[in-house]
Amino acid sequence: MNRLFKLAALAVFVGLTMLAMFGSKVSQSIENRGFAQTRPTPAAVAFDQAAALAKLREQIKGRENELAPTVFKNIQTMKNTTAGRLLSVMEMGFARSLGVNCTHCHVPDKWESEDKPQKQVARDMSAMVSTINRDLLKNIKSLKSESAIVNCTTCHRGEVKPALNLPSPKYSPK
């Protein structure tokens, strides 16, 4: 466990160091591969998320408390989550945390589609968050909270790309 924590800390350190050294080039490279979206596409702007969620909620009416894989197709994570909760997690936990709508990862009305690589990125990021919360945070002995967690908002803060532009320090070292 201690080794896993050290490896995770090293990976974060290396990643932050690379971003500090090559920030714009790394971000540009990620955008060029289609894993980041800085401006909504016309289709995303035209998409009515509230209407789509209302339609999905109507479609699953009476089945909201069933496990998501029994109600929806191609559920690969959150298999122990109810169908109703899954929609809320997608709306609040993913869309709001990244400042996007459903079309960032999904093809409307083909929700099970694997056409967008962002869907798998979200699954992998969700697994990372689970590992941090389940395995790593509890090993930080001086942490003041017994129930510390991270989530999408911890890094993304409503942006597709994790927030990397930190404000200047309010102190000046002497």
The answer to the question of residue 84 being in a domain is yes
> How many angstroms separate the CA atoms of 78 and 41, rounded?
28
Same-domain pairing of 129 and 44: yes
Same-domain pairing of 10 and 62: no
Same-domain pairing of 109 and 142: yes
pLDDT tens-digit readout, 11-52? 444 444 444 444 433 343 344 334 444 456 665 668 999 999
Same-domain pairing of 16 and 91: no
The answer to the question of residue 162 being in a domain is no
Same-domain pairing of 4 and 72: no
Same-domain pairing of 72 and 146: yes
Domain total in the chain: 2
Closest CA to 6 of 125, 148, 136, 159: 136
- Domain carrying residue 116: 37-156
pLDDT tens-digit readout, 41-83? 665 668 999 999 999 999 999 999 999 999 999 999 999 999 9
Lowest-confidence segment of 51-65, 116-130, 143-157 by average pLDDT: 143-157
pLDDT tens-digit readout, 92-109? 989 999 999 999 999 999
Same-domain pairing of 21 and 76: no
Return the structure tokens found at 54.
Answer: 């209302």
Same-domain pairing of 46 and 106: yes
The answer to the question of residue 88 being in a domain is yes
Return the structure tokens found at 110.
Answer: 């083909």
